[in-house]
Copies of this chain bind each other. A is one copy, B any other.
Amino acid sequence: MDYAICPKLENAMGVLGQRWTGLIIYQLMAGPKRFCHLESSMGVSGRVLSERLKTLEKEGIVKREVYPETPVRIEYMLTDKGRAMETFINELQKWAEAWSEVPQKV
């Protein structure tokens, strides 16, 4: 196997392993969304959503587009890198559906 790929894989999985990150990507696969739309449809706090979006922007998975309208419109969307995740997320989903248990919340 190729050991050099491991830090990249671990980094990718570390990002995706954070709560809400996968769901944000899912939502954006359907098309660009505004902050308030994501916030209300996911039931996540604005503070956490903002943090996750920043991480995803830093990773080059999500981009933030500002439309200079009145009032200004800001949308979040997947980059090419983000859209390229669809295949493995679908495979991961199949695996999780077949094998995973929902963790108990303690």
Interface residues of chain A, those whose CB is within 8 Å of chain B, are: 1, 3, 5-23, 26-27, 30, 60, 81, 84-85, 87-89, 91-103
Distance (whole angstroms) from the CB of A92 to the closest CB of chain B: 4
A100 in contact with B12 (CB, 8 Å): yes
B97 in contact with A87 (CB, 8 Å): no
Knowing A17-B14, A22-B13, A100-B11 touch, does A84 contact B91 (C-beta < 8 A)? no
CB-CB nearest 3 A-B residue pairs: A17-B17, A88-B91, A8-B100
Q: Given the complex, which residues of B lie within 8 Å of A23, measured CB to CB? A: 3, 6, 10
A103 to B93, CA, bound (A): 26
Minimal Cβ-Cβ distance residue in B for A19: B10
A22 in contact with B9 (CB, 8 Å): yes
Knowing A13-B13, A14-B17 touch, does A91 contact B91 (C-beta < 8 A)? yes
Knowing A17-B17, A23-B6, A26-B1 touch, does A12 contact B102 (C-beta < 8 A)? no
